[in-house]
Amino acid sequence: MNHGQQSGEAKHEDDAALTEFLASLMDYTPTIPDDLVEHYLAKSGFQCPDVRLIRLVAVATQKFVADVASDALQHCKARPAPFVKDKKQQKDKRLILTMEDLSKALREYGVNVKHPEYFADSPSTGMDPATREE
Amino acid sequence: MNGERAQEDPAASSSGCSESYEFSHAAAKAAVAQVCESVGYEHFKDPALESLAGFALQYILQLGKTAISFANLTGRSQCNVFDIILALEDLTGNDDGDGGVVSSESCSLGRSVKLKGIIDFVNSSEEIPFSQPLPRFPVAISKKKMMMIPSFVEIGETPPGNHIPLWLPAFPDPHTYKETPMWIERASDPRGDKIEQARQRRKAERALLSLQRKLVCKISSGTRVWGDMDGVKEDEGELLRSVSPSISGEKVESLNRDGLSVVEAFAPAMEAARDGFCSEVDTEWKKKKKPDALSKLRTEKKFLGEPLDLSLKMKGEDRPLSFVRDEDRDDKRRRAEFILRQCMENPVDLNQL
């Protein structure tokens, strides 16, 4: 009984927090515009007149993109810098979103976007680096 | 943003696989680029940006699809917040090791890892609104602007055929698909036409008379015998060559009878042409019995006969050579009368000669 009451209270709290969160969503403007999100949701059959839900989806997508981009940035920074003669230039690394970094980042999400290599020199071309070493 | 980033104008729409695809895709690219910029990126490679934008759109689509399926499972057609939370959980999977089992409790705030993450994200991250104003799309065409084809009922037409219901759009007008020859309206002006006709006739007669005058002048300028007529004609040109034998033949005959010179033969005719053609001829007609008059008449007839002959020549008809006989004189006289009458009907402006 107590457990049920506690869970009931927790639920109330959760609901309150959820309501509060949805209300706060109205203040927060997501980067992806509402119209765009609504258009694509309508394409998949999602029908809802509530703007807050649209905003929730937009925020979720924004978080997803931000996560992927930050992972790719990590890969970009982790790559050893190219050899430069001048030491000053070394720190001035240009942060460019490339396909390489993106593919590495998306692999953790289960998406394979690896480009095939241009030259197939050896039998181990195109294989996973981990298996290649073996 | 500079460098390799391909910034497309979201408002520009070009033809793609569907009309709204290009526009929405460009808008998504711009939004994703802004998110990446907030993360820390300065430049983008276009293929990378495009694929990331594609992933974002696929994320939205998958989220919507899963959410609506959860709503349909419970017998609803419209989604609510719990459907979305469940879809979030379903899409990414839990890290707590439940094996992806979605329970009824997982849609609550306490259990939903994803939702907590989102809340944290909202609280922590900076608010970056979309950089450009996006018009409401797909653009709704108002009924007033929309060019709807009205139905048969609206027009008040009966469809051609009993099998066509009245509420269907009407057929286009026949003038849109049928081509009929155009009736070119010509304003008929009978009076104007008559005047034009008379003018042309006058012109032709004037030309003929001037030609004959030239001929006469040529003949009268030199003291020539009949035999030289051919030479004279050669000067005039080929047109008169065929005329000359007939003329020479006729005039020779008349000359032989009357012994008149060429100038004397043509003199009355010239006078008549200058002064008042018809009246002179009339007086001449009265003096029929005089041989001079006769000969003059004859020559005049011949002179008058010339226009007819020349006109015939011009038309390309061949006039057979005919020597004048006594019995032909009457014919010639009748012909001359006829021509005279014609000239009287159409007053010729002889003053111009």
What confidence score (pLDDT) does residue A3 get?
60
The Cα of B91 is separated from the nearest Cα of chain A by a number of Å equal to 11
* Contact in structure between B61 and A61 (CB atoms under 8 Å): no
Residue B184 scores a pLDDT above 60: yes
What confidence score (pLDDT) does residue B10 get?
42
Which residue did the predictor score with more confidence, B244 or B171? B171
The Cα B280–Cα B269 span in angstroms is 9
pLDDT tens, position by position, B92-104: 765 554 555 555 5
Q: Which residues contact B42 (CB under 8 A, 6 or more apart)?
A: A94, A95, A96, B1, B3
The Cα A71–Cα A108 span in angstroms is 9
Residue A8 scores a pLDDT above 90: no
B43 pairs with which residues across the strands?
A96
Phi, psi of A4, deg, nearest 5: -65, -45
B261 vs A: CB within 8 A: no
pLDDT tens, position by position, B259-287: 445 555 555 555 655 555 445 445 555 55
Six-digit token string for B321: 């050579």
Residue whose entry in the numeric block shows the structure tokens 């692999």: A107
The Cα A31–Cα B30 span in angstroms is 10
Six-digit token string for A113: 């976007």
Six-digit token string for B6: 């391909």
- What is the model's pTM? 0.51
Task: Indicate the helix (H) or strand (E) that contains B43.
Answer: strand B43-44
- In chain B, which residues have their Cβ closer than 8 Å to the Cβ of A56? 81, 84, 118
Which residue did the predictor score with more confidence, A110 or B140? A110
What confidence score (pLDDT) does residue B249 get?
46
The Cα B217–Cα B207 span in angstroms is 15
* Contact in structure between B30 and A33 (CB atoms under 8 Å): no
Q: Number of C-alpha atoms within 13 angstroms, CB side, residue B27?
A: 27
**A-proximal residues of B, 119-158, CB under 8 Å:** 119, 121-122, 125, 127-130, 134-138
For B183, which DSSP code?
-
Q: Calculate what percentage of chain A has a pLDDT beyond 70.
A: 78
CB atoms within 10 A of CB B124: 7
**B-proximal residues of A, 74-93, CB under 8 Å:** none
The Cα of A55 is separated from the nearest Cα of chain B by a number of Å equal to 11
Q: Which residues contact A119 (CB under 8 A, 6 or more apart)?
A: A125
The Cα B194–Cα B187 span in angstroms is 14
Contacts by B104-110 with C-beta closer than 8 Å and gap 24+? Answer: B107/B82, B108/A10, B108/A11, B108/A14, B108/A15, B108/A18, B109/A13, B109/A14, B109/A15, B109/A17, B109/A18, B109/A21, B110/A10, B110/A13, B110/A14
Six-digit token string for B70: 């959860």
The Cα B139–Cα B234 span in angstroms is 90
* Contact in structure between B79 and A47 (CB atoms under 8 Å): yes
Lowest mean pLDDT among A3-12, B101-110, B182-191, B225-234: B225-234
In three-state secondary structure terms, A97 is strand
A51-78 helix and B81-92 helix, angle to the nearest 10 degrees: 20
E strands within A1-134? 96-97
Average pLDDT over residues A53-70: 92
**B-proximal residues of A, 23-62, CB under 8 Å:** 24-25, 28-29, 31-33, 35-37, 39-41, 43-49, 52-53, 56-57, 59-62
| ipTM, 2 dp | 0.84
Average pLDDT over residues B77-86: 90
Burial B159-175 (b: 16+ CB within 10 A, else e): eeeeeeeeeeebeeeee
The Cα B263–Cα B243 span in angstroms is 19
pLDDT tens, position by position, B4-36: 444 444 444 444 445 668 888 999 999 999 999
In three-state secondary structure terms, B134 is coil
Q: What is the DSSP string of A50-69?
A: -HHHHHHHHHHHHHHHHHHH
Q: How far apart are the first and last CA of chain A?
A: 58
Q: Is B123 exposed, middle or buried (0-12, 13-18, 19+ CB in 10 A)?
A: exposed
pLDDT tens, position by position, B273-329: 555 544 544 555 555 445 554 555 555 555 454 544 454 444 444 444 444 456 677
Average pLDDT over residues B128-149: 67
Angle at B285 between CA B283 and CA B287, to 5 degrees: 80
- In chain A, which residues have their Cβ closer than 8 Å to the Cβ of B125? 66
Of A11, A47, A56, the CB nearest to B84: A56
Q: What is the DSSP string of B318-334?
A: PPPP----HHHHHHHHH
The Cα A38–Cα B328 span in angstroms is 111
